[in-house]
Structure 1
Amino acid sequence: MELRQLQYFTVLAEELHFSRAAQRLHISQPPLSVAIKQLEAQLDAQLFERSSKEVRLTPAGTHLLAQARDILERARRAALDTRAVAHGMAGCLRLGFVGSSMYRGLPEALAQLQLLHPQVRVDLHELNSAEQVSALQQGKLDLALLHTMVVPDGLRARTLLREPFMACLPTHHALARQARVAVSDLSQERMVLFAESVSPEYFRSIRTLCQRAGFDPELRHEVRHWLSVLSLVSGGQGVSIVPACLQRVGMPGLAFRPLRQSAAHSELQAIWRPVPAHPLIDTLLQLLQERIAAVAAADAAPAPASD
Structure 2
Amino acid sequence: MELRHLHYFIAVAEELHFGNAAKRLHMSQPPLSQQVRQLEEELGVSLFSRTSRSVALTPEGAAFLEDARDILQRTELAVKRVQAVANGEEGLLRVGFMGYALMTGYPQAIREFRQRYPKVRLELWEFSTAHQLRMIAADELDVGLISCVRGVPMKLDSLLFRKEPFMLCIPEGHPLAELEAVPLARLAGVPLILFPRKAHPMLYDALIASFRNAGVVAEVVQSVARIETGKALVAAGLGCSIHPASVSAAMRPGVVYRPLIGDMPSPELRVVWKKDNLSAALSLFLEEVRLYRDEV
Query: Structure 2-normalised TM-score?
Result: 0.90
Which residue in the other structure is 1:61 paired with?
Answer: 61
- The residue number in structure 1 matching 2:180 is 179
Per-residue CA distance 1:180-224 (angstroms, 9 max, x = gap): 222222223111111112211121121122223221211011122
Please give the alpha-carbon distance, in whole angstroms, between the structure 1 residues aligned to 2:264 and 2:286.
Answer: 26
Q: Do 2:90 and 2:120's aligned partners in 1 also have CA atoms closer than 8 Å? A: yes
Moved more, 284-293 or 89-98: 284-293
Distance in 1 of aligned mates of 2:236 and 2:284: 40
The reply on whether 1:90 has 2:87 as its aligned counterpart is: no
CA 1:17–1:194 in structure 2 vs 1: closer, same or farther (change >3 Å)? Answer: same
1:32 and 2:24 correspond: no
- What is the Cα deviation at residue 261 of structure 1? 5.2
Mapped partners of 1:132, 1:14: distance in 2: 57
Residue in structure 2 matched with residue 140 of structure 1 by the alignment: 140
Q: Does the C-alpha gap of structure 1 residues 276 and 291 become closer, same or farther in structure 2, counting only changes over 3 Å?
A: closer
Q: 1:263 to 1:153 in 2, by over 3 A?
A: closer
Given that residues 187 and 217 in structure 1 are in contact (C-alpha distance below 8 angstroms), is that contact kept between their aligned partners in structure 2? yes
Q: Equivalent residue for 1:18?
A: 18
Percent sequence identity over aligned pairs: 36
Gaps of 5+ in 2: none
Q: Secondary structure at the match of 1:252?
A: coil
Check the 8 A contact 1:194/1:202 in 2, yes or no. Answer: no
SS of the aligned residue for 1:265 comes to: coil
Q: What does 1:287-302 correspond to in 2, within 5 Å?
A: 287-293=288-294
Partner of 1:305: none
The offset of 1:150, in angstroms, is 5.5
* In structure 2, distance between residues paired with 1:196 and 1:42: 68
SS in 1 for 2:292: helix
Structure 1 stretch displaced more, 199-208 or 230-239: 230-239
1:45 is matched with which residue?
45
1:246 aligns with 2:251: no
| 8 Å contact from structure 1 (residues 206, 241) kept in 2 | no
Say whether the 8 Å CA contact 2:187–2:216 is kept in structure 1: no
> 1:226 maps to what in 2?
227
Counterpart of 1:171, as a letter, is E
CA distance in 1, matches of 2:195, 2:64: 65
Q: What does residue 302 of structure 1 align with?
A: none
Q: Could you say which residue in structure 2 is the equivalent of 1:259?
A: 260
Range 120-129 or range 71-80, more displaced: 120-129
Summarize the Cα distance change of 1:211–1:28 in structure 2 as closer, same or farther, 3 Å threshold.
farther
Aligned equivalents of 2:147 and 2:222: distance in 1? 20
Q: CA offset at residue 153 of structure 1?
A: 4.3
- Measured in 2, the distance between the counterparts of 1:7 and 1:26 equals 12
Name the aligned partner's letter for residue 123 of structure 2: D
Taking a change above 3 Å as real, the CA distance of residues 5 and 274 of structure 1, as seen in their structure-2 partners, is: farther
Q: Deviations over 1:218-257 (max 9, x none)?
A: 1011122222222222222211221111123333333222
Q: Is the 8 A contact 2:210 2:264 kept in 1?
A: no
Secondary structure of the equivalent of 2:164? strand
How far 1:262 moved relative to its partner?
4.9
- CA separation of 1:10 and 1:112: change in aligned 2, threshold 3 A: same
Separation in structure 2 between the aligned mates of residue 159 and residue 131 of structure 1, nearest angstrom: 19
Distance 1:219 1:103 in 2: 25
1:153-204 Cα distance to aligned partner (Å, 9 max, x none)? 4332332221121122223333333332222222231111111122111211
Q: State the match for 1:155 in structure 2.
A: 156
Q: Residue 171 of structure 1 contacts residue 254 of structure 1 at CA under 8 Å; is this kept in 2? A: yes
**Structure 1 letter corresponding to 2:14:** E
Q: 2: distance between equivalents of 1:283 and 1:262? A: 38
For 1:57 and 1:111, locate their aligned partners in 2 and report how far apart those are by CA, in whole Å.
53
CA 1:79–1:183 in 2, change beyond 3 Å: closer, same or farther? Answer: same
Do 1:169 and 1:240's aligned partners in 2 also have CA atoms closer than 8 Å? yes
1:215 partnered with 2:219: no
Post-superposition shift, 1:284?
A: 1.9
CA change 1:172–1:77 in 2 (3 A) is farther
- CA–CA distance in 1 between the matches of 2:172 and 2:16? 84
How far did residue 263 of structure 1 move? 5.9
Change (3 A) 1:69 1:255: same
